[in-house]
Amino acid sequence: MLALYFIGILWMIMLRKELKLPSTLSQTIRWSFFILLILSEFTYQWWAAVNDVWNLQEHMPLHLCGVASITGMLSLLTYNKRLVRFTFFIGIIPAFLALITPELYYGYDHYRFWKFFIHHIVISWTGLYLILSSSIRITLRSVIQSFMYLVFYACVIGFIINPLLDSNYLYLSNKPTASTPLDLLGSGFSYYINLGLVALTVFLLLYGCYRFFQKKTKAS
């Protein structure tokens, strides 16, 4: 699965000039990603409901990848600049980290296995595709703006949603049960500070990558 993920990333970067809308190739990718995202979310909710395991504490799309999936779908439909930029920042790296540290209890012969990997691969691909296929620019201002959106959302989840539902969305109440990089961030108040610093670092890293490829494209 990781090989497929990296092949897709490299392919889109190599063909970034051909991905500009409204090319036939770009439109095909656009709607394929949209369909895969909406099917992944819908079938997951349907599976949980049919198997009588659905609950507010675990199955709402309020984790970062769930939010990136929703903003990704909306961005593919509208190409709203703020949504596209936000999806770029919250979609690519978090979904990739989920792929390398999956919190998954099902084997390859189960629906949840394939849904997890396909969904997270497409979330990450979508974040990159939205920028490559449009003329929307990533600026330092958009880094700060998107980070503030994320901080606001985290405050809503951490101070309102999680206490209200007794849930663990965004892993603000407890760390994931699987071994993840979050284990390195300490505990208590320092955990939240480090979490914010990591998010900002990721945003700046993505901005740096964007600037690098932008200069390389202009030079060619």
Q: Contact at 8 Å (CB) between 211 and 143? A: no
- pLDDT of 66: 97
Q: Residue-wise over 48-62: b if at least 16 C-beta within 10 A, else e?
A: eeeeeeeeeeebeeb
- pLDDT of 93: 96
CA 28 to chain centre: 21
- pLDDT of 189: 87
Residue 176 has pLDDT above 70, yes or no: yes
The stretch 7-15 carries a mean pLDDT of 95
Q: What is the pLDDT of residues 89-119, one digit of tens each?
A: 999 999 999 999 888 888 888 999 999 999 9
Q: What is the pLDDT of residues 42-51, one digit of tens each?
A: 999 999 999 9
Q: What is the pLDDT of residues 47-86, one digit of tens each?
A: 999 999 999 999 999 999 999 999 999 999 999 999 999 9
Distance CA 107, CA 114 (A): 9
Where does the pLDDT of residue 220 fall: very low under 50, low under 70, confident under 90, or very high at 90 and above?
low
Q: What is the pLDDT of residues 120-137, one digit of tens each?
A: 999 999 999 999 999 999
- In the numeric block, which tokens belong to residue 31? 């709607």
- pLDDT of 104: 81
How many Cα atoms occupy the beta-carbon half-sphere of 150 within 13 Å?
Answer: 28
Where does the pLDDT of residue 180 fall: very low under 50, low under 70, confident under 90, or very high at 90 and above?
confident
- In the numeric block, which tokens belong to residue 113? 């296995």
Cis-peptide, bond into residue 22, ω within 30° of zero: yes
- pLDDT of 164: 97
Residue 179 has pLDDT above 80, yes or no: no
